[in-house]
């Protein structure tokens, strides 16, 4: 009887292992404001894809989460809060992991937190207690580069129903194709959706923000365009926002 129990236990463990399907992916992370602005690094993480539901939200435990920040290695075992991969209808929308209180030796930060301020958002506190922000993209990302051509105030915007607003004109040598997904401007953690092609030029796009929306974003935050509101595998990057060029 004892031998039968052992065999049964081994069969159950084998079946569970067979159902487990570990997937490894990456985050492309950057710190964009604060004392560590300009620091970029990659994060390798893994999870069990058999726990992902095809419909609705899924919260799947991180099996690993590894990165090196300024020469110091962080791992899954160092996570103080979070530690999940979040899915919507089978697609990754966010990863949460907060490193604080108990940190690796010689950590260059007091706190670094992924995903709690919104999908793709990083917050950190440096060793002097000063805060900074960053962002991350999930998976193998195709990156196009571009420039912020102008930021100008308009007294009456058709996109805003005749109300005043702020137009941000962006240019890239790689076209912004017409797709069945909405084009999204992301500045830091905020997203904006009113856009158009001036004169039908697919290399140039103009986004319109209300004056209140423009006031809510900060100098130094990263400026990105993508399709869809979830983290995308293709983005257009335009550096950091410089509000001083308004109306120049």
- Residue 231 is predicted with a pLDDT of 67
β-pair type (163-172, 183-187): unpaired
Q: What are phi and psi of 4, to 5 degrees?
A: -60, -40
List the one residue out of 64, 7, 65, 69 whose CA is nearest residue 35.
Answer: 69
User: What does the alpha-carbon distance between residue 113 and residue 100 come to, in Å, rounded to a whole number?
Assistant: 8
Q: Count CA within 13 A, CB hemisphere, residue 183.
A: 19
Please provide the CATH number assigned to the domain covering 142-245. Answer: 2.60.40
Burial of residue 54 (CB within 10 Å: 0-12, 13-18, 19+) is exposed
The encoded tokens of residue 224 equal 């990105």
Residue 199: CB atoms within 10 Å: 6
Burial of residue 177 (CB within 10 Å: 0-12, 13-18, 19+) is exposed
Please give the helix or strand (H or E) that residue 195 lies within, else none: strand 195-196
User: What does the alpha-carbon distance between residue 100 and residue 122 come to, in Å, rounded to a whole number?
Assistant: 13
- Residue 13 is predicted with a pLDDT of 45
Spans of all domains in the chain: 20-138, 142-245
Per-residue pLDDT of the chain (248 residues; tens, 9 = 90+): 445 454 444 444 444 444 458 888 888 888 988 999 989 888 989 999 889 887 888 999 999 999 999 999 999 999 999 999 998 778 788 899 999 999 999 999 999 999 998 888 899 999 999 999 998 888 766 778 889 999 999 999 999 999 999 999 999 999 999 999 999 998 877 899 999 999 889 999 999 999 999 999 988 888 889 998 876 778 888 888 999 999 98
CB 81 within 8 A of CB 98: yes
Query: What residues does 152 pair with on adjacent strands?
Result: 167
User: What does the alpha-carbon distance between residue 190 and residue 183 come to, in Å, rounded to a whole number?
Assistant: 14
Please tell me the pTM assigned to this model.
0.56
- Residue 157 is predicted with a pLDDT of 93
CB 67 within 8 A of CB 167: no
- Residue 224 is predicted with a pLDDT of 87
């Amino acid at each position: 009887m004892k031998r039968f129990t052992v065999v049964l236990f081994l069969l159950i463990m084998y079946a569970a292992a067979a159902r487990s399907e570990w997937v490894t992916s990456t985050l492309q992370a950057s710190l964009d404001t604060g004392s560590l602005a300009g620091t970029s690094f990659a994060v390798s993480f893994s999870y069990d894809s058999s726990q992902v539901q095809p419909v609705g939200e899924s919260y799947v435990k991180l099996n690993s989460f590894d990165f090196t920040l300024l020469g110091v290695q962080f791992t899954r075992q160092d996570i103080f809060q979070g530690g999940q991969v979040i899915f919507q209808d089978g697609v990754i929308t966010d990863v949460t992991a907060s490193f604080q209180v108990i940190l690796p030796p010689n950590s260059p930060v007091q706190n670094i937190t992924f995903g709690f301020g919104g999908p793709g958002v990083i917050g950190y506190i440096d060793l002097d207690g000063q805060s900074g922000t960053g962002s991350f993209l999930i998976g193998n990302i195709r990156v196009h580069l571009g420039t912020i051509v102008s930021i100008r105030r308009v007294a009456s915007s058709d996109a805003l129903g005749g109300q005043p607003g702020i137009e941000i004109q962006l240019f890239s040598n790689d076209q912004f194709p017409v797709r069945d997904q909405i084009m999204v401007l992301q500045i830091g953690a905020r997203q904006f959706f009113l856009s158009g092609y001036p004169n039908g030029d697919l290399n140039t796009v103009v986004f319109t923000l209300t004056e209140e929306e423009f006031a809510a974003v900060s100098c130094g935050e990263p400026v990105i365009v993508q399709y869809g509101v979830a983290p995308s595998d293709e983005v257009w990057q335009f550096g950091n926002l410089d509000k001083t060029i308004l109306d120049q």
